[in-house]
Structures are given as structure tokens and as C-alpha cells.
Amino acid sequence: MAPEMRRHCLPLFTALFALLTLVPCATGQERLHVVVLHTNDMHGQVQPRLATWLKDRDPLPVSGGIARVASAIRTTRAKLEAEGAVVFVVDGGDWFQGTPEGRIDEGRPYISAMAAVGYDALAVGNHEFDHGVDVLEAHLGAVRVPALLANATQPDGSSLTGTKPYEVVERGGLRVALIGFCAEDTPSITHASTRALVWRSPAEVLTRIRTELEGQVDWFLPLTHCGVGSDRQLAAAHPDLALIVGGHSHSLLQNGVREGKTLIVQAGSKASLVGRVDLWLDPETKAVLESRAGMIELYEEPAAAQRNPEVDKLCAAMTAKADELMGAVVGSLTADLPRAFDPFTSSPCGNLVTDAMRARTKADVALQNRGGLRTNLLEGKLTRRHLFQLLPFDNHLVTLTLTGAELETLMRTSVESRGGRGLEFSGLIVELTRGEGRPKLAGLIVGGEPLDPEKDYRVTVNSFNADGGDGYTQLAEAERREVDPILLRDLLAEYLDGRAVTPPTERRYRER
């Protein structure tokens, strides 16, 4: 640069430097850096699993498991705190249900492993109630974890034993209210004891808590086991929220989504990844100036120095106990056994399970809710572990006597109201008509004959549906019932009986 130009530019450079030093937030160097590390829908995942969400890798790597989660959180947190960041570690609910390891002692060892990870707060998810409210309370009385549940209380208004509606955490001069919410439809999708609790909308409860804590905290961070759609509604009702950490819908939001100014994040499911949100705050006002979401990948086994020894010890004990029971081969499949994701298409998976139910009870019809079928199975040998992954819930068989008219009402509810939470079935053909909007029920065929409204039919369902689960309350009202205590996964093992089975692929939804 020529000397004459330098003389003219020097005052400008000096003024610009002075401006930048007077406004530290503009440089990013003196902003308060906050990082939220988050998981959700762990579902008892101890072992790493295939990273099926990767479409461009061959072969697919294995990812995750709680031991890798614990290691990633431990090392990332230490590095960030050494750099001066403020770090929070949270979970969006559904802790243990879904694997043989997670089912040991009704989930208590897995809760202990989560406690050892070092979470600041865990939202209570709907599957925490799968064994009943009293069992969850017993777990939380025995294992101390920071469990948060704000929108479900006992009838007298008190919190469940071992839970709080919120936790105020002060760290690095920042006071944050962590608040836990669970899906309002939990009473219809899990243990019947949840129906005795009082459930309220997250938006309503958050309004009350914000009023209660006004002036006492810098910002509010909801941990919601409600799904992305409900999180968007919460953000619309509280548009000044900077961040919502979610769960329930198993959404892999690589970079989050935004509803207005609110960043909404989830990290998929089954301990496959750890979510990371970086936020930069004004150090004086604590206003969030910038936020960015991403994922921490868990494809590599951590080095010894990075591991969490307590979590490793608990995982080893759970794996050893589960392997004793789950390694036995019970049969094989001659082809893949997929579930259906079109609500008006029957699936080989649903067909096989309901065929096994009907064969056991000799019923006219067998019904199975889609939400109870939790994975696809591949061609080849089947072990008890595979059947557990498919049918992880402790549901047994209940055979009801329904009139044809009652069965028609039930199936109309499934077709015209329940959508993706509809039913799979055996012994039944459901005829549909399609037009504008949702399909309509046009007719039912049972045993090759049109349904007779006056006739009695024996209908086998699982105990969850028999108690009115998934909104099928008319089943809970049926008085004539026969109970068979066999669990569905044990029933399927008995049905396979070591055989090679070809998945039934016939279409049981048909259009007129």
C-alpha cells in the first residue's frame, strides 16, 4: 500500500478497531458459549447397532450404545469446559424399554447406567410407565436420577415420587430452568395406571412455571417427550423460547428445525448419536444471539482413557445376563419380515404375528396394534433376541367375545380415525373405498363370509389393547374375555417351533 494511502486509511482502521473492542459480542470472542449435549429415546440400547440411516456406506458401520454415548459426553464435556464453555447434558425420555438388557429387573440397571452418564436432567417418557406408575416410582426411589415431569401429577397435585416438574441449574453465571414434559396421550399408549394421573398440556404448564419463576432464571429449556409436531405447537405458544430438546418421534434432526425463532432438536433413537447444540449468549442480558445444532457421531469404539468405567461395568453385567436367555435359535425366515408404514396396507410382520395369535386361541379374528411391532426382521435364523426386538412389551393374549356390530365399530375406528396407529389382523379382510380425504370402511369379511352384525365372534388381542390401549376403549368395555398369560414373543417362538417360515405376504386391506 502506498504511504499516502496508508496515512488516509490509518484513522479508519483505528476507529474500526476501537468500535470492535467496545462491542465485544460483535466479535464472538467474549460472548457466553453454552453447549447442550442431548439424547432421546435410548430404549435400553446397550449394544452398538447398524447405522441404517447412512445410505452411502457399504458396509454399514455400527453406531452407538450407551457406553459410547457416555464416553462421547464425558470427553466432549471435559474439552468444552476446559475451553470455558458452559455445558448441560439432558435426555428427552424413553430410557430402558426396547431391548433384553433394558428389560432386566424392569429397567432398573439401565436407569443406573443413565445415572452414571452424568445427565443434568432427564425427561420422563411414556415408556417409563410400561410396568406401571408404582414400578417407576420404586425405580426412582432406588436410583437417583434427575427425572423431570411437569405435566402429569397425582390427583392431589403432587409430583410422582422421584420426579420434579423442573430443575433450576446455575452454571457459569447462567441460571437455566430445565422443565420436563411427556406426551398427553400417554394414558392411551402405555400402562393403564397412568389414567389415574392428571395430565395437562405442556403449553399451559409452561406458562404457569414461567410465571412462578419470573425474575429467578435467565432462560427456560423444555425437555419434551412429545414429538416434533407438539414441539412446534409449544414453540408457537411460547415464541421467545430459544431451544426445545425433544423426543418421542425418534426424529433424526441433523441440524435441528426451527419454529419461528425456536430451535427444536432430536437425536434419532436407540443411543445412536449424541446431539450437540452450541449457543452464544450476550454476557449481560443472557439473550441468545446465535444457535447451531449438529450431531456427535459414535461409529468408533472409544479408547480406554475416554471411557466411563462405571457405565462399562453396568453394560457388561446387563449383556451377560441377557445373553444367557436371548441367544437360543427359535426358527428362521425364508425372506425378510418388514412392517408396513402405509396405514392401509397389511404387512408380512403383522400378518405373521396375528396368524400366530389366532392359531393359539382358535379365534375367528386376531388383532395387533402397529405400534407394538418395533422392528423389521431379516431373512435367516431367528433368536429369542430377535423376537424381543420385535415384541419388547410384556403383553399377553386376551380373547374377547364381540358382536359383529361391535367388531365393525372397532375396525371403523381403526380405519377412519387411527391412521398410522391402526391395526394388523388375521382371519379378516377389510374392504375400503377411497375418495377425498381418508379411506372409508366399506365392508368386512370374516372367515370368507361377510360380517354378520348379529353374530358373536371370538377376537384375540394383546393385553395392552384389551385394556383400551391406543385409544381402543371399546375393547376395555368388553365383558366376555378369556386370558392367556403367554407373552407375545414367547407365543411367536412357540409358533415358529424351530421351522423355516415363509412370511405371509397376502393383502388383507382391499379396495372395492
Q: What are the b/e assignments for 139-162, b being 16+ CB within 10 Å?
A: bbeebebbbbbbbbbeeeeeebeb
- What is the CB neighbour count within 10 angstroms for residue 238? 18
Q: Kindly indicate the confidence band of residue 294, based on its pLDDT and cuts at 50, 70 and 90.
A: very high
309/334 same-domain check? no
Which CA distances in Å does 94 have to 29, 117, 182, 358? 38, 16, 10, 31
CATH number, domain of 392, equals: 3.90.780.10
Question: How are the residues of the chain apportioned to helix, strand and coil, as percentages rounded to the nearest 5?
Answer: 35, 30, 35
362/392 same-domain check? yes
Say which amino acid occupies 404.
Answer: G
Residue 343 belongs to a domain: yes
317/400 same-domain check? no
CATH number, domain of 130, equals: 3.60.21.10
Number of structural domains found in the chain = 2
By C-alpha distance, which of 311, 321, 371, 269 is closest to 103?
321
By C-alpha distance, which of 347, 378, 332 is closest to 493?
332
In the predicted model, what is the mean pLDDT of the chain? 92
Domain end: 321, 355, 387, which one? 321
315/334 same-domain check? no
Residue 6 belongs to a domain: no
Mean pLDDT, range 62-71, rounded to an integer: 97
- What is the CB neighbour count within 10 angstroms for residue 430? 23
Residue that is written with C-alpha cell 433368536 in the block? 383
439/469 same-domain check? yes
The confidence score (pLDDT) of residue 51 equals 87
413/301 same-domain check? no
Looking at the predicted structure, is the pLDDT value of residue 437 above 70? yes
Residue 171 belongs to a domain: yes
305/370 same-domain check? no
Residue 256 belongs to a domain: yes
CA distance 423 to 370: 6
59/159 same-domain check? yes
Q: Kindly indicate the confidence band of residue 19, based on its pLDDT and cuts at 50, 70 and 90.
A: very low
List pLDDT tens digits, range 347-366.
999 999 999 999 999 999 99
Omega within 30 of 0 (cis) for the link into 59: yes
Domain that residue 503 falls in: 327-511
Residue 224 belongs to a domain: yes
Domain end: 280, 302, 321, which one? 321
Q: Burial level of 388, CB count in 10 A (0-12/13-18/19+)? A: buried
Looking at the predicted structure, is the pLDDT value of residue 28 above 50? no
Check residue 419 and report its DSSP letter: G
Residue 397 belongs to a domain: yes
Candidate from 102-111, 186-195, 241-250, 350-359 with smallest mean pLDDT: 186-195
Q: How far is CA 49 from the centre of its chain?
A: 17
Domain end: 321, 345, 372, which one? 321
145/274 same-domain check? yes
158/85 same-domain check? yes
Considering only residues 162 and 98, tell me which one the structure prediction assigns the higher pLDDT. Answer: 162
396/347 same-domain check? yes
The confidence score (pLDDT) of residue 23 equals 39
Residue 332 belongs to a domain: yes
